[in-house]
Amino acid sequence: MKMIDGGVCAAKGFKANGTHCGIRKNRTKRDISLIVSQVPASAAAVYTTNLVKGAPLTVTKQNISNGIAQAVICNSGNANTCNANGVEVARKMCELVQRFTGIESSDVVVASTGVIGQPLDITPIESGMEQLVSGLGLNSQYAAEGIMTTDTVKKEIAVEFELGGKTCRIGGIAKGSGMIHPNMATMLVFITSDVKISSQMLQKALKSDVADTFNMISIDGDTSTNDMAVVLANGMAGNEEITCEGKDFETFMKALNTVNVYLCRMIAGDGEGATKLLECKVSGAPDKETAKIVAKSVICSSLTKAAMFGADANWGRVLCAVGYSGARVDVEKISCSFRSEAGEVCVCENGSGVEFSEELAKKILSENEIEILVDLHESNFEATAWGCDLTYDYVKINGDYRT
Amino acid sequence: MKMIDGGVCAAKGFKANGTHCGIRKNRTKRDISLIVSQVPASAAAVYTTNLVKGAPLTVTKQNISNGIAQAVICNSGNANTCNANGVEVARKMCELVQRFTGIESSDVVVASTGVIGQPLDITPIESGMEQLVSGLGLNSQYAAEGIMTTDTVKKEIAVEFELGGKTCRIGGIAKGSGMIHPNMATMLVFITSDVKISSQMLQKALKSDVADTFNMISIDGDTSTNDMAVVLANGMAGNEEITCEGKDFETFMKALNTVNVYLCRMIAGDGEGATKLLECKVSGAPDKETAKIVAKSVICSSLTKAAMFGADANWGRVLCAVGYSGARVDVEKISCSFRSEAGEVCVCENGSGVEFSEELAKKILSENEIEILVDLHESNFEATAWGCDLTYDYVKINGDYRT
């Protein structure tokens, strides 16, 4: 498997674009994105578990209930959520795709991200469609930009691998930043592939992988109303269709996981106001679930996040978060270390502090990618969760988001 | 029932003091507190559910397992948690109380608050005991100061009421500030009363009330390792002993609730870095549990907290937190308002936004006590949760707490 360029356009038969249509006031910010496949594709998706759901999710669910989709349209700047006419507007977005591309409106995935509770005006989208569609091409980066809100960098990746001698690709774009604490689904992630795979197996692959990737990120503990991860696989790579578990499915899963972990790290490292990517790696757990619960609890701890911002090796906060996680752990066995490019320092063994060089710890924690290593010393199960530090800028960004 | 002065010394037979013994470097900060009853008292306590538990909690549990206590000793500046010799040091603190006051060490409640994972030296406590004990008197305020960490104001209250013609009192002190997200128990709260009540009924009253008071606060979602709420009731008011439910128990519960709600509001309003007390009042819930889950979810939302800091009426974040709370609610029925001394503004009805004056909303949210009112419009159950805004200063305080 190798990394390649092209994002969501790396897979055969996919084009994309992103433009400014006027939902956002700032004309330099793209606010609408479109991804289309040359042929109808197997589609799979997972959605937020928030009971307050964005209207686009309702429409997308209906549209891909047959396991088929051919296009994705997504705007930023307005979440189209908690609006009386939200579903109507989301449907209109799909109809616009049909009018301008010929793709059936019932084969369109629709998504929105931005402020909740403000009516979404269809007018700018309608008037921007011609430009959006005429620019369709190998423009993954524009599509990645069009879905950004407070994100500071666009998030895209693609990988190439072989299935039965055929070269296949998976690519993805994502938006993250704030209101990120996915539960069963995630922020916005659009993945394309030219692999031939049944929609059942695609859904199985996505659901299984999301549990270990996007659902293991937290920026601020707030599960968004509009989280959605979608994969379209159009089969144009020409591999023998994957219709059951086996070697090909494993290869596909591994490639999908590579794409998703990459996007997870990008989303976490670009959390609102973040200066550091935090990775909590839990090992020695009695089972996978325990490892995940512990890793996510540490990554969610405001106090740990603030300590990391200050490069303060305050490991008591890590232990505290392990203790209240809800997982059954033997506190007296826990060890904890901090690691980064600058080195590694063990700060706690058998649940109690050990002497360590504060100077080295400060150096390690001053890097911009920090690993928090927690070993439960019970068995050999592991899990990783991703997050970021809590900074002045998170407060600044969210103290006045709307105005 | 009326508010009176005196804090934990308002109840007959209780004396207290707080001094600087040298655990903290800053000589102007009291770091050790002592409360004693003239006679042995019924004792009840609730503790953190964090699996990482402070050593003092282990010793206190043993000491009051017979339902009797006569003194409380508590230091700040060091949590005596995650230390190999923690239990030994906590026991020594109880033995020092015995040596200097004659009260049995097994009748002492011991507590600690401060940094986790640094050995607690008994030496300064030992050398400070004489001064601490010789100053015992009606000094509730000193005891309240001696347990403060990053708290900016001391927290104390007392109320007076009658039981069967006898005047009775309940008083309390508390510390809060950070690592505050109590679960089954709470930060540090010490309550004294001269009511005569069996330890079984006292435990019942405390446990029941804490579920609606201290467990409904969250500052930062981090459940501390050292949370503890303790009540001592020494019976010196001379009322007929409360040994079962009934009118007297109800009166006692009401007085206890008044004390606890007051302390909750003080703890929430003085959360680390807070500029505002937030009260989320949920009404119209189908049951009490739903009301509580929803109220606490809103109060815990980092995004809502940051919006309140910025006086931004971003009610979508409130709806979002209701939606991911885990409670079964009908989103289409929810209404939401913001209220303060400056007025009230309705921002959402039937799950969708309504037009409102941004100017008025800004004025309302610029006050320092804000009510977030959520009506589920299903039945008539209610709950309140308390918290504070998320500010630059929270990050500042916790970016470098140890040094």
pLDDT in tens, B6-20: 999 999 999 999 999
Contact B241, B249 (CB under 8 A): no
Q: What is the pLDDT of residue B38?
A: 95
Longest dimension (CA), chain B: 68
Angstroms from B36 CA to nearest CA on chain A? 31
Q: Please say if the pLDDT value at position A322 is more than 90.
A: yes
Q: Which of residues 353-382 of A touch B (CB under 8 A)?
A: 353
**Does residue B200 belong to the interface with chain A, where contact is any CB pair within 8 Å?**
no
**Does residue B118 belong to the interface with chain A, where contact is any CB pair within 8 Å?**
yes
Q: Please say if the pLDDT value at position A171 is more than 50.
A: yes
Q: What is the pLDDT of residue A284?
A: 97
Alpha-carbon span A125 to A128, nearest angstrom: 5
> If residue B248 lies in a helix (H) or strand (E), which one and from where to where?
helix B247-269
Alpha-carbon span B294 to B280, nearest angstrom: 9
Contact B178, B398 (CB under 8 A): yes
Alpha-carbon span B51 to A319, nearest angstrom: 9
Q: Please say if the pLDDT value at position A218 is more than 80.
A: no
Residue B261 phi, psi (nearest 5): -65, -40
DSSP string, A263-330: HHHHHHHTSTT-S-EEEEEEEEESSHHHHHHHHHHHHH-HHHHHHHHTT---THHHHHHHHTSS----
Contact A170, A262 (CB under 8 A): no
Residue A330 phi, psi (nearest 5): -95, 100
Closest residue to B322, CB basis, from A52, A321, A394:
A52
Tell me what the mean pLDDT of segment B328-339 comes to.
Answer: 94
**Residue carrying the six token digits 């693609």:** A158
Catalytic site residues of B? Answer: 186
- Sorted by sequence, the CB contacts under 8 Å of residue A43 that are 6+ apart come out as A64, A67, A68, A69, A109, A199, A202, A230, A231, A232, A233
Tell me what the mean pLDDT of segment B325-344 comes to.
Answer: 94
Alpha-carbon span A108 to A118, nearest angstrom: 23
Q: Do B315 and A117 touch (CB under 8 A)?
A: yes
**Residue carrying the six token digits 């506190």:** A331
DSSP B197: B
- Sorted by sequence, the CB contacts under 8 Å of residue B211 that are 6+ apart come out as none
Contact A87, A122 (CB under 8 A): no
pTM summary value:
0.80
Q: Do B51 and A322 touch (CB under 8 A)?
A: yes
Residue B330 phi, psi (nearest 5): -95, 100
Interface with B, mutate which of A222, A335, A397 (most B CBs under 10 A)? A222
Angstroms from A57 CA to nearest CA on chain B? 14
**Does residue A25 belong to the interface with chain B, where contact is any CB pair within 8 Å?**
no
pLDDT tens per residue across span B172-223: 998 877 666 655 334 787 888 888 999 899 988 888 888 888 877 777 777 7
Structure-token pair, residue A373? 């290593």
Q: Across A117-267, where does the E strand assignment appear? A: 155-163, 166-175, 188-193, 228-233
Q: What is the pLDDT of residue B180?
A: 65
**High-pLDDT (> 90) share of chain A, %:** 65
Confidence of residue B94 (pLDDT cuts 50, 70, 90): very high
Structure-token pair, residue B170? 């309940």
| Helices (runs of H) and strands (runs of E) counted in chain B | 11, 15
Tell me what the mean pLDDT of segment A270-297 comes to.
Answer: 93
Contact B109, B230 (CB under 8 A): yes
Q: Please say if the pLDDT value at position B396 is more than 90.
A: no
Give the nearest chain A residue to B116 (CA atoms).
A316
Structure-token pair, residue B43? 């004792």
Nearest partner of B222 among B31, B398, B24, judged by Cα: B398
Tell me what the mean pLDDT of segment A51-67 comes to.
Answer: 91
Structure-token pair, residue B47? 């503790």
Angstroms from B120 CA to nearest CA on chain A? 12
Q: What is the pLDDT of residue B276?
A: 93
Alpha-carbon span B84 to A326, nearest angstrom: 24
Nearest partner of B344 among B322, B363, B318, B316, judged by Cα: B363
Q: What is the pLDDT of residue B186?
A: 44
Alpha-carbon span B298 to B333, nearest angstrom: 17
Higher pLDDT pick, B260 / B281: B281
**High-pLDDT (> 70) share of chain B, %:** 96
Residue A253 phi, psi (nearest 5): -60, -40
Nearest partner of B383 among B369, B392, B373, B393, judged by Cα: B373
Catalytic site residues of A? Answer: 186
Closest residue to A398, CB basis, from B81, B83, B303:
B303
Q: What is the pLDDT of residue B192?
A: 87
Residue B170 has, within 13 A of its CA and on its CB side, a CA count of 29
Q: Please say if the pLDDT value at position B226 is more than 80.
A: no
Higher pLDDT pick, B26 / B19: B19
Q: What is the pLDDT of residue B211?
A: 82
Q: What is the pLDDT of residue B185?
A: 38
Question: Average per-residue pLDDT in chain B?
Answer: 90
Angstroms from B51 CA to nearest CA on chain A? 4
Q: Please say if the pLDDT value at position A216 is more than 50.
A: yes
Q: Do A50 and B302 touch (CB under 8 A)?
A: no
Q: Do B353 and A118 touch (CB under 8 A)?
A: yes
Residue A242 phi, psi (nearest 5): -85, 115
Q: ∠ at Cα B390 (B386, B391), nearest 5°? A: 135
DSSP string, A231-245: EEE--TT-PPPB-SS
Domains and CATH numbers, chain B: 2-269 (3.60.70.12), 277-399 (3.10.20.340)
State the angle between helix axes of A288-300 and A302-309 in degrees (0 to 180), rounded to the nearest 10.
60
Q: What is the pLDDT of residue B93?
A: 98
Length of chain B: 403
Residue B26 phi, psi (nearest 5): -70, 110
**Residue B396 corresponds to which amino acid?**
K
Whole-angstrom CA distances from A121 to A86, A97, A175, A346 are 10, 16, 22, 55
Q: Do A309 and B222 touch (CB under 8 A)?
A: no
Nearest partner of A320 among B227, B402, B273, judged by Cα: B227
Confidence of residue A324 (pLDDT cuts 50, 70, 90): confident
Contacts of B115 in chain A (CB under 8 A): 314, 316
**Does residue B47 belong to the interface with chain A, where contact is any CB pair within 8 Å?**
no
pLDDT tens per residue across span A76-118: 999 998 888 999 999 999 999 999 999 999 999 999 998 888 8
Q: What is the pLDDT of residue A182?
A: 56
Indicate the pairing of strand B155-163 with strand B108-115: unpaired
Structure-token pair, residue A218? 């937290």
Interface with B, mutate which of A51, A181, A297, A322 (most B CBs under 10 A)? A51
Alpha-carbon span B144 to B173, nearest angstrom: 6
Contacts 24+ apart (CB under 8 A), A356-364: A356/A313, A358/A313, A361/A313, A362/A311, A362/A313, A364/A313, A364/A338, A364/A339, A364/A340
Q: Do B352 and A402 touch (CB under 8 A)?
A: no
Residue A338 phi, psi (nearest 5): -115, 140
Task: Point out the least confidently predicted range of A133-137, A323-327, A339-343.
Answer: A323-327
Q: What is the pLDDT of residue A401?
A: 57
Q: What is the pLDDT of residue B184?
A: 39
CA B241 from centroid of its chain's CA atoms:
27
Contact B194, B11 (CB under 8 A): yes
